[in-house]
Chain A
Amino acid sequence: MTDHVLTGTAAHVVGCDGCGLAHHALSDQHDMCCLRCGLPLHFRKPDSLNRTWALLIASYVLIIPANLLPVMKSSTLAGTEDDTIMGGVIYLWESGSEVLGAILFIASIVIPLSKLFALTYLLISVRRRSTWQPKTRTQIYRVLEAVGRWSMIDVYVASMLTALVQFGNLMSINVGAGAIAFGAVVVLTMIAAECFDPRLIWDAANQTQATTDSPKENHAV
């Protein structure tokens, strides 16, 4: 990437994230709103790194009870049984639904964890002003933004079972406290991804490009 790229910031042009209309603005001000659709305008999302870090740390804390506490409690005449997320995956796998078990495993374990790690990596790479493959890192961001919602599956499964299986002493299923923690992780990581600004990935690349370009210009003179 050696070509010079004119950015909106350099040209004092800011685009609306909702409707796309380009406005002239000198710097980030708090009260700027899109003239067409009224959404707030900003060159970079406000306080992006701090907000993302805060939400991310809260998610790291909550993912522990989300996996240790039961998301579901089933009680029968024989006794009660607590099901964690992993327990639900193993149950599906052992009862012969390998495909569904694998889907649940990916949605409830793989996606939340890889989302946390990927966001952490992006935040650190921006803080360290990394210039490595900005396009790849933007793609990582796009993927983690798109897949986060699928983690909600387990919350829906526990809710649905709670509503359907209520046969008193004979058999009943109830949502466990783990579901609250798990739902909170999904919501917090979705907001964290929303707070992160992928343009920050490109800012570092831009600046380094500007400093490595200037000596060449001096030689030419």
Chain B
Amino acid sequence: MVFNSLLVCEECDMLLREKPLDPGSMVICPRCGHVLHRYQPEGLQRSLVFSLTAAVLFVISNAFPIVGLTSQGLESSTSLLGMVDSLFHDDMPLVAILVFATTFLMPALVIGALIYMLLPLRLGFLAPNVAAIFRIMHLSKPWAMIEVFMLGLIITISKLNALATVLPEIALWSFVCLMFALTAAAANFDPRTFWDQVEKLQ
């Protein structure tokens, strides 16, 4: 048995009755302050636009090198996957897997899952296995760390500046944009609004 008019706070277990909301408002748990629900009718649409942007930027970010280095005639540059590859060659498979998962695999899963869920919904039909894809997104989201990677890049560049000339390449700029697009896509996706829409279609 399910109750469509009840909300249970995930952080303090308080039981709340769902009230009709004005667009843009949110349900905050009166007991612990947890934000349970953000009602944004346009949120899913915005999330889709940002996810599609993120998908394009993700491809660009991984097709090109991120930074190049020149020093006394020596040159080198690396892409994200090149970095994972050199970690494998350096006998650091655990670090390679960690870097690959948090900067490539998990972000890709989040972007892919958001598009898979939202694009058909926008076109008025329901993709098969939407629940499984929702679970994948729910579980991979905490492990996508593009924004942390960006800060790491800034520190890397400033460290290298002392040794050599650092040349920012295309993927660096597209990574910066990817970071914003992915954050916006995830922030605009409200699970409760999404499932309300899905149930309307069923």
Q: Mark A residues whose CB is within 8 Å of B.
A: 1, 5-11, 13-15, 17-24, 35-39, 43, 91-92, 95, 97, 100, 103-104, 107, 134-135, 138-139, 141-142, 149-150, 152-167, 170-171, 174-175, 179-180, 183-184, 187, 190, 194, 198-199, 201-203
Hey, which chain B residues are within 8 Å of A202, CB to CB?
Answer: 12-13, 31-32
Choose among B31, B142, B152, B195 the residue with the greatest number of A CB atoms under 10 Å from its CB.
B152
Partner of B15, one of A11, A183, A203: A11
Q: If A13-B3, A164-B69, A166-B86 touch, does A18 touch B78 (CB 8 Å cutoff)?
A: no
Whether B6 pairs with A22 at a CB distance below 8 angstroms is yes
Hey, which chain A residues are within 8 Å of B145, CB to CB?
Answer: 149, 152
Question: What are the nearest 5 A-B pairs in CB distance?
Answer: A156-B152, A15-B8, A8-B8, A163-B83, A24-B1
- From A205, which residue of chain B is reached at the shortest CB distance? B12
Asked if B109 is an interface residue, CB under 8 A from chain A, the answer is no
Q: If A7-B15, A22-B6 touch, does A165 touch B142 (CB 8 Å cutoff)?
A: no
How distant is the Cα of A178 from the Cα of B74 in the complex, in angstroms? 29
How distant is the Cα of A22 from the Cα of B159 in the complex, in angstroms? 51
Whether A175 pairs with B95 at a CB distance below 8 angstroms is yes
Choose among B2, B36, B71, B138 the residue with the greatest number of A CB atoms under 10 Å from its CB.
B2
How distant is the Cα of A156 from the Cα of B98 in the complex, in angstroms? 10
Asked if B201 is an interface residue, CB under 8 A from chain A, the answer is no
- From B102, which residue of chain A is reached at the shortest CB distance? A152
Hey, which chain A residues are within 8 Å of B56, CB to CB?
Answer: none
Hey, which chain A residues are within 8 Å of B162, CB to CB?
Answer: 95
How distant is the Cα of A33 from the Cα of B150 in the complex, in angstroms? 37
Hey, which chain B residues are within 8 Å of A179, CB to CB?
Answer: 92, 95
CB distance from A146 to the nearest CB of B (A): 10
Asked if B153 is an interface residue, CB under 8 A from chain A, the answer is yes
How distant is the Cα of A159 from the Cα of B66 in the complex, in angstroms? 13
Asked if B151 is an interface residue, CB under 8 A from chain A, the answer is yes
How distant is the Cα of A165 from the Cα of B78 in the complex, in angstroms? 10
Hey, which chain B residues are within 8 Å of A36, CB to CB?
Answer: 2, 131, 195, 199
Whether B138 pairs with A39 at a CB distance below 8 angstroms is yes
Partner of B155, one of A103, A162, A170: A103
Asked if B188 is an interface residue, CB under 8 A from chain A, the answer is no
How distant is the Cα of A176 from the Cα of B131 in the complex, in angstroms? 41
Hey, which chain B residues are within 8 Å of A18, CB to CB?
Answer: 134-135, 138, 191
Hey, which chain A residues are within 8 Å of B36, CB to CB?
Answer: 20
A13-B8, A37-B135, A159-B83 known; 17 new pairs, CB 8 Å cut-off, are A6-B14, A8-B9, A10-B15, A14-B8, A15-B6, A18-B138, A19-B194, A24-B3, A36-B199, A92-B158, A103-B155, A135-B31, A152-B149, A153-B148, A153-B152, A162-B87, A187-B98
Whether A175 pairs with B92 at a CB distance below 8 angstroms is yes
Asked if B183 is an interface residue, CB under 8 A from chain A, the answer is no
8 A-B pairs in the complex with CB atoms less than 8 angstroms apart:
A22-B3, A23-B3, A150-B148, A163-B83, A163-B87, A174-B90, A201-B12, A202-B32
- From B30, which residue of chain A is reached at the shortest CB distance? A5
Asked if B132 is an interface residue, CB under 8 A from chain A, the answer is yes
Contact with A along B150-166 (1 / 0, CB 8 A): 01111110111011000
Hey, which chain A residues are within 8 Å of B149, CB to CB?
Answer: 152, 156
CB distance from A70 to the nearest CB of B (A): 13
Hey, which chain B residues are within 8 Å of A35, CB to CB?
Answer: 2
Whether B13 pairs with A183 at a CB distance below 8 angstroms is no
How distant is the Cα of A7 from the Cα of B31 in the complex, in angstroms? 11
CB distance from B39 to the nearest CB of A (A): 12
Q: If A18-B138, A22-B2 touch, does A8 touch B195 (CB 8 Å cutoff)?
A: no
